[in-house]
Chain A
Amino acid sequence: MKNQYEDEEFFAPGHGMCAGCAAPIIVKWVLKIAGPNTIVVNATGCLEVATTAYPRTSWKVPWLHVAFENAAAAASGVEAAVKAKGEKTNIIVFGGDGGTVDIGFQALSGMVERGHNVLYVLYDNEAYMNTGIQRSGATPWGAWTTTSKVGEANPIGKLRPKKPIAKIIAAHNASYVATANPAMFQDFKKKVEKAMSYDGPRFLHVLSSCTTGWRHDPSKTIEILRLASDTGLFPLYEIIDGDIENMRITYKPKEFKPVEEYLKMQGRFRHLFKHPEYIKKLQDDVNAWWEKYGKHYIK
């Protein structure tokens, strides 16, 4: 079914986001689905910097930026004011992985615990891209970044896995939590629509990509993101009212592609190919995850 605002744009072109960046695709479609009765709160990051160079703006809905670590807190205040005025408006936060899983984590945790009626959308490109590709709590094991460098003493890069942020937020009893991927478009769209249909705190963990940080061909964004889910590396699921035991996996590839296919398209993983055991470790991790949770896939 076509959303009534599908033909309208609330995120204007002409911004300074890189060619091949997935974040504008995510924002554009979240706003098309949410419609014009929406207030956006944006954490500091590429999206904020590249879309609001004063006096220009890409935002056709009211938009607020306060700082890096407090988008969820600012949104809490906006929501309280909307309530105080007796209005009904969608409040949507966009934050990158740094502003969400690391420096903004406390504010996000507080916002969800207090039950604010806000949709928080994390666009996760798996490192601090705005400051130049530093590792974050969302950087995957084995990724090269400028602060998880690869060398003789460390041939791996980042030595710790990603924070399971969707599960962490679900464990706060958020009303709706889902992982999504703009390359798996129907699933992504359905989840945004579903998130909009719930009240209370909602959280979408959307995988994004960064051409400079992931070191990939800008024309391959969708292909690479699709592989993230087709290899099983970035599983797509949803959790309602904090019921993690009954999480629902919304997409399972008919045939899983080997993780190499995803990794080999990105310069940040190039070093891993010198060590087949590292590729195998990542494949084993994926297999173990699906072995454990695959039963949650419901067609």
Chain B
Amino acid sequence: MTKIMLRGNESIAYAFKLARVQVIPAYPITPSTLVPEKISEFIANGEMKAEFVPVESEHSAISAAIGASAKGVRVGTATASQGLALMHEVLFIASGMRLPIVMGIGNRALSAPINIWCDHQDMMAQRDAGWLQFYGENNQEGLDLGIMAFKIAEDNRVMLPAMVGLDAFVLTHTVEPVEMPEQSEVDEFVGEFKPNYVTLDPDKPATLGSFGFPEHYMEFKFGQWVAMERAKKVIDEVFKEFEEKFGRKYRKVNPEFVEDADIVLVTMGSMSGTAREFVKRMRGKGKKVGLLKITTFRPFPKEELIEALKGVKVVAVMERNISFGFGGAVYAELGATFANLKEKPKIVDFIVGLGGRDITFNTYQAVLDLAEKALKEDVDEVNWIDVNKEAVYKAEGLQ
């Protein structure tokens, strides 16, 4: 195994190359543009045998991906933010047709105001599109999850499309050392794509994407539900097999220092690295703080979360997304996860790092301070951190 220096986008491109993706329809958008650029380079150099389709929009990228996947080939694409939002309608069709397309996402804020930097709003806005969702902490995870996403998505018990998110710029454009597996090892691990559904084959004509009346529609949807539930086990299996083969451990949720913790910070994506350092320092000061990083957001790892957060007093969810009128998506789902249990932690939401605002030690400190307060008294359920609230109140005429 060799270590090479890669930007996050390149780790997605390498994952596609190593998984021998056959068709890549893609459209450039900051910050994921380097993925199709790198693929174009691989193909031009003869390093990769694939059809690159330089489509005229993201809507067409995902539509072409569906066409290719329906023909029974392995398909990958990449996008971000507005591009993912433009795909919205078609994302539901990809999952409804049970096509295991893998898409790299450079997690970026949504307009307005237009902003090219990191948050998770783009993928969270597609939460209900029926795609598996993974969030990488670093570029190694981008490569590894990119490879594993094919194996999980194409598993005949699943057959659902998958997104792998890497934080805009923080990961997509940042060079990190990445262990590069051998082609033969990845071939052995991922294997060939063998769809268990009919494909577009003139020898076995079939009608794909037909009109579903009320007497059939719900069964199709229930099929997606069942597949998403089954994916939980398949993800565990693939993570384990990957660990045995490549030595790197992946879990849907990754608890650290939680055994005796009173407070646990829940994170996703690149902020988890800084959070780990912060938690270590707090532990050095004798504070009973833990960390829980969520890698798999869809399917939502309820069982693992309940297990990992057992006995914790305050769960501080830090998230780079907001559902206006309620709170963050992770907070909402974590709350629902514990709703029917007798023993439950106090769950407090922290909206941080939207549109690329830095998440620093001061951010974690502010979160920890409020979480410690929550140990003793009631605090607001949803807390915006590092925001100039006074300026907003003034602009909204509240002062």
For window 43-83 of chain A, which residues contact chain B by CB distance below 8 Å? 48-49, 52-55, 57, 59-67, 69-70, 72-83
A107 touches B (CB below 8 Å): yes
Known: A62-B202, A66-B93. A77 touches B67 (CB 8 A): yes
**Among B54, B61, B70, B90, residue most surrounded by chain A Cβ atoms (within 10 Å):** B70
In-complex Cβ contact of A66 among B22, B199, B209 (8 A): B209
Known: A77-B25, A81-B68, A107-B63. A60 touches B205 (CB 8 A): yes
Chain A residues within an 8 Å CB radius of B205: 36, 59-63
Contact (Cβ within 8 A) A70 B90: yes
CA distance A114 to B90 in the complex (A): 21
Contact with B along A202-225 (1 / 0, CB 8 A): 000000000000000000000000
Q: Could you count the A-B residue pairs with CB atoms below 8 Å apart for me: how many are there?
A: 156
How many residues belonging to B are interface residues under a CB distance threshold of 8 Å? 43
Contact (Cβ within 8 A) A77 B66: yes
Closest to A49 in B: B211
Chain A residues within an 8 Å CB radius of B64: 73-74, 76-77, 80
Chain B residues within an 8 Å CB radius of A254: none
Chain B residues within an 8 Å CB radius of A73: 25, 55, 59-61, 63-64, 67
Contact (Cβ within 8 A) A38 B63: no
In-complex Cβ contact of B57 among A67, A74, A106 (8 A): A106
Closest to A71 in B: B63
Contact with A along B1-25 (1 / 0, CB 8 A): 0000000000000000000001101
CA distance A81 to B73 in the complex (A): 6
Chain B residues within an 8 Å CB radius of A59: 205, 207
In-complex Cβ contact of A53 among B59, B70, B93, B210 (8 A): B210
Chain A residues within an 8 Å CB radius of B66: 66, 74, 77
A261 touches B (CB below 8 Å): no
Query: Shortest CB–CB separation between residue B135 and chain A, in angstroms?
Result: 27
Contact (Cβ within 8 A) B53 A54: no
For window 40-86 of chain B, which residues contact chain A by CB distance below 8 Å? 50-51, 53-57, 59-61, 63-73, 75
Closest to B89 in A: A67
CA distance A161 to B207 in the complex (A): 36
CA distance A74 to B68 in the complex (A): 8
B213 touches A (CB below 8 Å): yes
The 10 closest A-B pairs by CB, nearest first: A77-B67, A77-B64, A110-B56, A81-B71, A73-B60, A65-B209, A70-B63, A73-B63, A52-B210, A74-B67
Q: Which residues of B contact A (CB under 8 A)?
A: 22-23, 25, 50-51, 53-57, 59-61, 63-73, 75, 89-90, 93, 199-202, 204-213, 216
Q: Which residues of A contact B (CB under 8 A)?
A: 36-39, 41, 48-49, 52-55, 57, 59-67, 69-70, 72-85, 89, 106-107, 109-110, 113-114
Other A-B pairs beyond A76-B55, A81-B71, 7, CB < 8 Å: A65-B209, A66-B209, A70-B59, A70-B90, A73-B59, A76-B60, A84-B50
